[in-house]
Structure 1
């Protein structure tokens, strides 16, 4: 996936982020939410702002995409756990549908897979080249050692 494709996938997600944040904030004050649902929202928010997570924030794009995945995933789970009439009211009020959340989750997954796939390939190539250089150096050291004996 090229940079242009990544931009095309992420733009709609980023445009909806303010609405997602407002929705999550409103849901956190919903009286019918269970303690577990409130904890799930809090964990999604904490993960998004925490510097310690699966893909650290200092890794450009991928570090932010995994935060989006967790935050949107927790938001979706809370919405799906609400009585349908309450969930529908929030979705209407904040202009967010479960289908949009699913679409944004799918986009984020695709971006992260593409980015991490490239990172894994680069890491594997780096490991291979490092190992090859190490073996060459070891070979030279062995040859020098044999010559001195």
Structure 2
């Protein structure tokens, strides 16, 4: 299951150039409404802002949350566009609404798995640290009793 998710997220990452070109194309489109442009600006601002739900300095998770935001906004902006034009743009970039939905789901699953595995690792580290501290404490108590 983990390997399947790893393969899926790699496929999503391979589509990033197509998503970037599509975003740029939408941004440059003179027919875009003010609301659509604000949505695009907001998503791009979120990506580059140091103040995020998950900061970009956190490996993997920081990038995956940016990807989820960008793909969700991209889908919203496309839905706000004329249907025929949106479909042509998607086809032109080798994408579809289904692919975007799959990539959002894969990104969310990747984030969930990353948090779960990180939690397990941190939990084990805390247990080990607790046991070590307990042993050290017992040793100190024994030594002080001898004095």
TM-score range, shorter chain: 0.7 to 0.9
For 2:78, the equivalent position in structure 1 comes to 79
- The unaligned stretches of length 5 or more in structure 1 are none
For 1:132, the equivalent position in structure 2 comes to 131
For 1:122, the equivalent position in structure 2 comes to 121
Q: Is the 8 A contact 1:9 1:111 kept in 2?
A: no
> Considering only aligned residues, what root-mean-square deviation do their CA atoms show, in Å?
2.5
Residue 27 in structure 1 maps to residue 39 in structure 2 = no
Alignment length (residue pairs): 146
Range with bigger deviation, 31-40 or 103-112: 31-40
Deviation string for 1:118-147 (max 9, x for gaps)?
Answer: 111001111111122122222333333344
Cα distance in 2 for partners of 1:43, 1:112 equals 22
Deviation string for 1:15-40 (max 9, x for gaps)?
Answer: 32111111101111233434343232
The normalised TM-score by structure 2 is 0.79
Residue 56 in structure 1 maps to residue 56 in structure 2 = yes
Cα distance in 2 for partners of 1:55, 1:6 equals 22
